[in-house]
Homo-oligomer: A and B are copies of this chain.
């Protein structure tokens, strides 16, 4: 067989490093598609003029687009045989990405544990995305339940990595250049609220909803070169548990992040993802709503231009014929805001 069905649980060994194919040059075309797919409006990603005012070379690529591109590269090696994407942690954005940059991805296996059923196992990987100069632009840990090729394969010694509950706020903001004093323009950026306005415990309903179409999530997921067949193959998925194609969880992340502009418009940068869980599957036709809870407000060491807010972004879905909304996603993030 020259074609591959991907790695099974037995193929992962602690410490194994996988260099993922294919590197990907990100262009302004990708940024335009990201805008069309989600309608994001954060200031520096939307306007090169504002980006330059804020100290960037030009409009940076949206953080989550970078995340999805790196994640997508890892799919053919890590999660073609995934039963479930269980979580993310310790995700940090470490350098800005601009149109023309080329991203490569590699993953290291940092944990393994067979499930009690003996039919699958949980694999923890730390995935790193680097640009063409070898600088890490994003890194994160994810864990995923992967089918075994053969039920009778022996279980590896279980190793469960200890993961930080949250990224230390002192280390945030490396992907953001120094913001010149007075450069932040509230009106242009579309939000009257600044760091000082947010308080732990506060909840923000982002009001708007967005309904996801099959064509949209497929376009998005292919743009990321994510090859997981569950997102694309209606014929084989007709026999799956859901009975239909599953929307890539990253689409839900991006929709919720874009909706969060209404109330969090000055939080222009995702500095870190402390944790993320997909609580329920999303399928086309779902209308996604988003809400934010402010968890923590923190200074960033050495930065008087920037501060961080830790939020829990929750995405819920309304389905036709269902009275109640389902929670799809909880994303615990550090967002960076200008300190005015």
Contact = CB atoms under 8 A, between A and B. Distances in A.
Contacts of A198: 2
B233 A209 contact: yes
A107 interface: no
Interface stretch (A83-91, A156-164, A262-270, A330-338): A262-270
Interface stretch (A25-33, A118-126, A135-143, A275-283): A25-33
A27 B61 CA distance: 13
B29 A43 contact: no
A200 interface: no
Copies in the assembly, this chain:
3
Interface of A: 1-5, 19, 21-25, 27-33, 35-39, 41-43, 46-50, 59, 76, 99-100, 102, 104, 132, 187-191, 193, 197-198, 202, 204-211, 213-216, 218-223, 225-227, 229, 232-236, 238, 245, 262-265, 285, 287, 318, 320
A27 to B, nearest CB: 4
Nearest to A222: B39
11 contacts: A2-B202, A2-B264, A4-B263, A21-B191, A23-B49, A25-B47, A25-B59, A27-B28, A29-B30, A41-B225, A211-B235
Contact of A189 (B21, B27, B193): B21
